[in-house]
Structure 1
Amino acid sequence: METGAKGGNGIGKPVRRVVIAGGGTAGWMAAACISKILGKRLDIKLIESDEIGTVGVGEATIPTLLNFHHLLEINEQEFMAETKATFKLGISFENWRNVKEDYIHSFGLTGTDHWTAGFQHFWHKGRERGLAGDYGDYCLELRASQENKFAHLPRQGMNYAYHLDASAYARYLRRFSERFGVQRIEGKIVDVTTSALTGHVRSITLDSGLDVEGDLFIDCTGFRGLLIGQALGVEYEDWSQWLFNDCAAALQTTSVGDAVPLTRSIAHPFGWQWRIPLQHRVGNGIVFSSRYVEEQQAIGALMGNIAGEPLMKPRVIKFTPGQRKQVWKANVVAVGLSSGFLEPIESTSIHLIQRSIIRLMQMFPSEGIMQTDVEEFNRQAALEVEHIRDFIILHYKVNNRIDAPYWVDARNMPVPASLQHRIDLFRETGRVFRFPTELFAENSWVQVMLGQGIMPLQHHQTADLMGDEELSHFLGGIKGQIDRTVAGLPSHQSYVERYCAAPK
């Protein structure tokens, strides 16, 4: 890649030209947000090639995407119809704790907390006294997902996300972005020119010979990281010592039944399989470790556990779990897969794209790139990803499976001290420690730790202040209200058909 001193972007130079390298979900989410908010002040170009396919990760989402759409004033019914989306209330983890033992990690809250202690302490006391049912009985979203029901409730009373067609979502956001002035340029990137004086990217050269100059570049080139990695040399931090999986195979099938408001995550002896129901098809895939299984064997396991007719041949994706040591360097910000990758076990891919874009908007260098902003951006991004990393590792570390070396090795592996502290704290006290700004709330940690088989050794003494009658009334009141609400909900399938049916 060429370097040159002319035309370098010096620190302090106002940013007026934004170049987004790569399309797909990451590129078009970036284009949509930047153009909607700052499009009148900026020249925004997005480069992508029809010949280069996108990974298409992120067909399952989490509730934070609703906030992103709210910021962009996106109409939910229109968006869902065009992306053939369905609703999602959580993830069903099957065979994770042990073979034939399942649980659900749902959105929303479980029970009612006291200011001194979370609901799990009162539930734990109730279990000891024979007064409580399953932990999930006290969560509306979980119970609705079990009954395959859904509806919008007053005062945002139901927490939900979406299952969506990632390719259709990128097309939808492209149309949205172009209305706000984004110019799409077709072409493959063949060279990146940097300034020897500043180290900033000056321009991107396409296979057509066109040079696209910019002041700020958003790297959405996927695993290749053409700008952040190849041009600027930012190293990649490998987390495969904790996250064994390094391959995935994706497959689409026809729908053979009603769409359920759950992502299914089905554990295998060497990884896990997903099922994501959309209006028009089902997304399927298997995530696995090449250290424990041959590729064809993993694909065979996937093909033997699908419902419906395949619409394509399985597409294999290879990856290294981890993150870039810097996601913003010089005048390049990496968004999406170019910044790192965590397997989609908790549907965080689109969330991390969204967070990078929102963080960039909050620190947008209109009057010039400042190193203090760059350092703060990288600090926040690293902490956010590390918290999510720990939550994902938890699913593997805490398991009772003895049927496969993959699971035994995962249980025996040393984990980051930050995660080990959370596990020990919950096991010994029932308490959950978390940072205020991290993604997964206390209820998520409780659901997964209980689901994976950790039962606290004690509960908070506040729960002991309730006698059996009072505790039974407290727990029964929560469960009764949820049961009544769920009984009144329509089926998820009928609600989708009425609310946001995709055009035939």
Structure 2
Amino acid sequence: MATNVNHIVVLGGGTAGWMTAALLSKLYKDCLSVSLIESDDIGTIGVGEATIPPLKIFNDVLGIDEKAFIQQTKATIKLGIEFEHWGKVGDKYMHAFGEFGKDIGYTAFHHYWLADKPEAKSLWDYSFNYQAAIEGKFSPTPRIHNNQLAGITHAYHFDAGLYAKLLRKYSIDKGVKRIEGKVIQVTQDEREFITSLTLDNGNTVKGDLFIDCSGLHGMLLDNVFKVGFDSYQHWLPCDSAWAVPCEKVEPIVPYTRSIAHKNGWQWRIPLQHRTGNGLVFASNKMSDDEAKQLLLDNLDAPAIGEPRLIRFTPGRRQQQWVKNCLAIGLSSGFLEPLESTSIHLVQTAIIRLTKLMPHAQINQPLIDEYNRQSKVEFEQIRDVIILHYHLNTRSELDDIWHDCRAMDIPESLKHKIALFKATGNLFRHQEDLFTNEAWLQIMLGQGIMPEDYNPLANMITKAQRLEFLANLNAIYRQQLTLLTSHEQFLTSCG
């Protein structure tokens, strides 16, 4: 039986629901209708305040002006994530966005740097993003030095609740119908396709395709279709988080901070009006009260309100799309926010849907391809997060750090580490979110120094290599003088 897709129903608001509604209403305004069901009585988790650069593309597609977005969401600029104590206590490095130096031919830049360490400067001296981040500067500069070098690549920190509010207005203006209510009954046909949702106010909402954005409990995918869950907890031991904002701290730095602690880690996300804070921890190693106090003891300013406790299991639904229902956001799975990927997973899920949007009918090959791509994406991000934990060299013996060093890791990750350690080479799959530069910074930052490098780096002399590196660093230092301060840029956004 064919099922024409004319009406899409999104269950759940928040960031995931309204991002979904916004993009669908933008792209399918003249051929699909979109409704969104939410209840003002149901809260959202709302701690996803740090993003990665693709969100800028998402906003650009919607036609949202960057300065208006920054003003309305109290956003700040994010140039990378600084990791403290993740190697051993006292260590610090940054996963900076953007490129490093300049590749020559087929040879990645870092091989030229490896050929002359330790005489060359730190690798991060050849990252324009890093240099701007630590000096608290920002100006939108996609290219520099006569367009020969990559400029700054940026993302945002923002208030997730204000972003959802912005997208709600955007979506309603585009024709999305917002429906208030809580679902109390799900009606299915003989094929088990959902035909309608009955709300507590008596309304019935019919649809052809239903998108579950109902959060961790997965009201449709879990409760209705009983989809199994693949847990990653044997690799990612943390299963709880305390979250609390504190008063703003000046200067407002243009990067996220991730600080490793006993049996967990802390995030600090600077916004214009406050700082977002949280402590992610393993509940079998640390009590809730101990974790809460650890967070409160490590705030930069007085807390605003009481901390909120969040429970989760790291992992993913075994299928994100079943019948005529797919999950986007926390209902599809959860990976802790170590690399700020939660909102990005929402974005890529929506884009994946637009590329595989059913027309005349919803068929199984289409569903299978959506689920295949989703599984690959979750596992690739999972491996990057495992990498942070596994490469630690902290001295604690009876906590997660010791366990993570000793644990057996996925074969895909074993190969990546072994290849880099032996040769300095990094290769990424076409669909991999993380660039080679991202993998490079994590591995170097947490203590893996390659034993070799590509011999093409020897096609120029040592003197020429050192001159090349010195010139690059000089260019970046000179370009930094042309940037405004981060806070001056925020002021210019109104």
TM-score interval, smaller chain: over 0.9
Deviation at 1:462, TM superposition (A): 1.3
**TM-score, normalised with respect to structure 2:** 0.97
Residue 333 of structure 1 corresponds to which residue in structure 2? 326
Residue 43 of structure 1 and its aligned partner are, at CA, apart by 2.4
Greater displacement, 109-118 / 264-273: 109-118
Among 242, 253, 269, the alignment partner of 1:276 is 269
Displacement, 1:154? 5.1
Shift of 1:361: 0.8
CA distance in 1, matches of 2:134, 2:295: 24
> By how many angstroms is 1:233 displaced?
1.3
Partner of 1:149: 137
Q: 1:477 aligns with which of 471, 482, 486?
A: 471
2:33 is the alignment partner of 1:43: yes
- Look up the equivalent residue of 1:162 and give its one-letter code: Y
| Distance of 1:115 and 1:390 partners within structure 2 | 29
Aligned equivalent of 1:345: 338
Is structure 2 residue 79 aligned with structure 1 residue 89? Answer: yes
Q: Is the 8 A contact 1:321 1:341 kept in 2?
A: yes
Q: Is the contact made by 1:57 and 1:349 (CA closer than 8 Å) also made in structure 2?
A: no
5 Å matches for 1:406-485? 406-485=400-479
TM-score in terms of structure 1 length: 0.95
Q: Does 1:199 align with 2:176?
A: no
- Letter matched to residue 331 of structure 2: S
| Offset, 1:223 | 0.5
User: What is aligned with 1:136?
Assistant: 124
2:250 aligns with 257
Residues 47 and 243, structure 2, Cα contact 8 Å, conserved in 1? no
Distance in structure 1 (CA, Å) of the matches to 2:94 and 2:139: 19
Deviation at 1:158, TM superposition (A): 1.2
Shift of 1:437: 1.8
Asked if 1:383 corresponds to 2:376, the answer is yes
- Which residue is equivalent to 1:290? 283
How far apart, in 2, do the equivalents of 1:64 and 1:93 lie?
21
Distance, in Å, in 2 between the alignment partners of 1:401 and 1:495 is 38
Q: How far apart, CA to CA, are the structure 1 residues paired with 2:333 and 2:142?
A: 38
Query: Residue by residue, what CA displacement relative to the aligned partner does 1:394-450 show, whole Å, maximum 9, x if unpaired?
Result: 000111111252111111100100011101110111001210221001000001100
- Counterparts of 1:92 and 1:180, CA distance in 2: 38
In structure 2, the gaps of 5 or more residues are 144-149
The answer to whether structure 1 residue 112 and structure 2 residue 105 are counterparts is no
How far off its partner does 1:126 sit? 1.4
Q: d(CA) in 1 for partners of 2:28 and 2:19?
A: 14
SS at match of 1:240: coil
Q: Which runs of 5+ in 1 are unaligned?
A: 1-9
SS in 2 for 1:20: strand
Structure 1 residues 27-36 or 365-374, which shifts more?
365-374
Contact 2:142 2:153 in 1 (8 A): no
Q: 1:357 to 1:95 in 2, by over 3 A?
A: same
Deviation for aligned residue 1:217: 0.2
Q: Matches of 1:36 and 1:57 in 2, distance apart? A: 26
Following superposition, the deviation at residue 466 of structure 1 comes to: 2.6
**Among 174, 180, 188, the residue aligned to 1:180:** 174
CA distance in 2, matches of 1:336, 1:154: 30
Q: Percent identity?
A: 46
Q: Distance in 2 between matches of 1:459 and 1:256?
A: 42
User: Structure 1 CA distance, aligned partners of 2:128 and 2:242?
Assistant: 33
Moved over 4 A (4+): none
1:41 deviates by 2.1
For residues 373-409 of structure 1, give each alpha carbon's deviation from its aligned partner in whole angstroms, at most 9, with x where no partner exists.
Answer: 1111111111111111101110001111112521111
CA-based RMSD of the aligned residues comes to 1.1
Native 8 Å contact 1:16 1:43 kept in 2:
yes
